[in-house]
Amino acid sequence: MATVTFDKAQRWYPGNDSPTVPGLDLEIGDGEFMVLVGPSGCGKSTSLRMLAGLEEINGGRILIGERDVTHVPPKDRDIAMVFQNYALYPHMTVADNMAFALKMAKVPAEEREKRVQEAAKILGLTEFLQRKPKALSGGQRQRVAMGRAIVRSPQVFCMDEPLSNLDAKMRVQTRTDIAKLQSDLGVTTVYVTHDQIEAMTMGDRVAVMKLGVLQQVDTPLNLYDRPVNLFVAGFIGSPQMNLIDAKAGKDGQAQIGNYLVPVDPAAAKQLGEGHNNITVGVRPEAWRLVGDGSGGLPVDVTVVEELGADGFVYGNCDVEGTPSNVIVRVSGRDHVSKGDRIYVTTDPQNVHVFDTDSGERLSD
């Protein structure tokens, strides 16, 4: 197995004004499961394709283990990939699609057969093995794409949103299977996803990208608890963290309208000292409902989303001049309904403070 190193790897699509990936620096440990997330179009697929050798590298290097693979053709990189757009072989049956890489590797027929059967079982494709891709549903095709990768035991897995078209149940199950498979084989894995749960549960570490630039690489929990900047804070977590402009007082106070935001001492220290525009971040589940008059942030409820177990309350905190949307997660059947005014507050350890201009995190 092997580590993967992006060393200032750059990709600039001809015809574009700027590089899609200006220079990626990322080290992925041997056997590590690295999840790559970021907004649509930020360069995730491009990075993956660079690693796989499908995009020309316009600058920098990529290493697998000790080996500089920057100019090594894909077939010699020993990578298995799940393409975002599947890229199935239309003329082959599902079984042949999955067996193709094994055939190329001259794996004996029996072994091949066995592995394909196994993968098909995991992916619920057994009864479709003799079909051609054209006669499959979207999710089935995606599973074939997945199957094509997991029959192999390569040095690196590249998976580009491999579960996006599966139903929740199947996704949970497959997610677990992949995680298990990956840890059994110990294959270094780079996994692109838009699913917050996948990102949070599957990865040893998560890399957050924006416009081709890495923002933060960290364990899921750290990412959630200590996002390094506004972007990461807003990106990780769903529904997203409430990010509200606040006034910073010299005395380490932060205020949203009349609501005095409880901030931790580390952040408080920096307030006012050059950091005048600050943004305060609170996750929806970190709000507590409090009664009127107990100093909470007043929120006028506009929408209530019931999710069964709990619900989300969307509303405005209409403090003078700065109307902001606020999302609050309320438990089970807290009786909040549209038009209500509720008051919420939170605790210092749940408050993230950022410099609005630089986006940089101020709180601890």
Partner 1 sequence: MTSTQTTPAAATPTAKQRKQNTGGGHADANPAKAGWATKLVLAILCVLWIVPIFGTFVTSFRPLDDANSTGWWNVFTHPGDLGHLTLDNYQRAIDGSNMGADMINSLAIALPATFIPILVAAFAAYAFTFMEFWGRDFLFLAIVSLLVVPNYVAFVPLLKIYRDLNLNGTFAAVWLAHIGFGMSLAIYILRNYMATLPKTVIESAKIDGASHFQTFFKLILPMSVPALASFAIFQFLWVWNDLLVALLFIGPGENEPVTIGLTHLKQQLGQGWELTTAGAFITMLLPIAVFLGLQRFFIRGLTAGAVKG
Partner 2 sequence: MLAKALTALITVAIGIGGAMLVYYLLNKIAELLPERWEDRIKPYLYILPAFLAISVYLIYPAVLTVINSFKDRFSRNWVGTQNYSDLLSSPAFRDTLLNTLLWILIVPAVTVILGLLVATLADRLEPSGEKLAKTIIFLPMAISMVGAATIWRFVYYAAPAGQSQIGLQNALLGVFGKDPVAWLQQSQFHLNSLLLMVVLLWSQIGFSMVLLSAAVKGVPVDTLEAARIDGAGERQIFFRVVVPQIKGTIITVFITVTIGVMKIFDIVYVMTNGNFNTNVLGNEFYNQFSTNFNSGAAAAIVVMLMLAVIPIMWYQVRHFKAEEANA
Binding residue for Mg ion, selected from 11, 32, 36, 45, defined by CB under 5 A: 45
Task: Identify the residue among 5, 46, 324, 345 touching ligand ATP (CB under 6 A).
Answer: 46
Site for partner 1 (CB under 8 A): which residue of 113, 132, 334, 359? 132
> Cβ of residue 144: shortest distance to ligand ATP, in angstroms?
11
Report the side by side order of strands in the sheet with 213-218.
79-82, 156-160, 188-192, 33-37, 205-210, 213-218
Q: Which stretch in 10-18, 218-226, 228-236, 249-257 sits in contact with partner 1 by CB under 8 A? A: 10-18
Handedness of CA 122, 157, 162, 242 (dihedral sign): positive
Nearest to 255 by CA among 288, 283, 295: 295
Binding partner of 54, given partner 2, a second copy, Mg ion, none, CB within 5-8 angstroms per partner class: partner 2
Residue 260 binds which entry of ligand ATP, partner 2, a second copy, none, CB below 5-8 Å type-dependent = none
Among a second copy, partner 2, Mg ion, none, partner that 226 touches (CB below 5 to 8 angstroms by kind): none
Q: Is 274 in the site for partner 1 (CB under 8 A)?
A: no
Q: Is residue 89 involved in binding partner 1 (CB under 8 A)?
A: yes
The minimum distance between CB 81 and ligand ATP, in angstroms, equals 13
* 325 contact, one of ligand ATP, partner 2, a second copy, none, CB 5-8 Å limit per kind: none
- Does the footprint of ligand ATP cover residue 135 (CB under 6 A)? yes
Could you report how far apart the first and last alpha carbons of the chain are, in Å? 37
What is the 3 state secondary structure string of the chain? CCCEEEEEEEECCCCCCCCCEEEEEEEECCCCEEEEECCCCCCHHHHHHHHHCCCCCCEEEEEECCEECCCCCHHHCCEEEECCCCCCCCCCCHHHHHHHHHHHCCCCHHHHHHHHHHHHHHHCCHHHCCCCHHHCCHHHHHHHHHHHHHCCCCCEEEEECCCCCCCHHHHHHHHHHHHHHHHHHCCEEEEECCCHHHHHHHCCEEEEEECCEEEEEECHHHHHHCCCEHHHHHHCCCCCCEEEEEEECCCCCEEECCEEECCCHHHHHHECCCECEEEEEECHHHCEEECCCCCCEEEEEEEEEECCCEEEEEEEEEECCEEEEEEEEEECCCCCCCCCEEEEECCHHHEEEEECCCCEECCC
Q: Which is nearer to a second copy, 111 or 347 (CB)?
A: 347
**CA atoms within 13 Å, Cβ hemisphere of 255:** 12
Part of the chain binding ligand ATP (CB under 6 A), chosen from 57-65, 130-138, 198-206, 297-305: 130-138
Interface with a second copy (CB under 8 A), residue from 87, 105, 109, 168:
168
Q: Is 139 in the site for a second copy (CB under 8 A)?
A: yes
Q: Find the shortest distance in angstroms from Cβ 67 to partner 1.
A: 7
Q: Does 363 bind Mg ion (CB under 5 A)?
A: no
Residues 16-55 binding partner 2 (CB under 8 A) are 52-54
DSSP-derived pairing of the beta strands 188-192 and 156-160: parallel
Nearest distance, CB of residue 28 and a second copy, angstroms: 21
Please state the closest distance from residue 45 (CB atom) to partner 2, in A: 12
Nearer to partner 2, 143 or 205 (CB): 143
The residue of the chain with the least Cβ separation from ligand ATP equals 139
137 binds Mg ion (CB under 5 A): yes
Contact footprint for a second copy (CB under 8 A): 13, 15-16, 37-41, 44-46, 84-85, 124, 135-140, 142-143, 160-161, 164-172, 194-197, 200-201, 220-221, 224-225, 234-235, 237-240, 283-286, 305-310, 329, 332
Contact footprint for ligand ATP (CB under 6 A): 13, 16, 20, 38, 40-46, 84, 135-140, 165
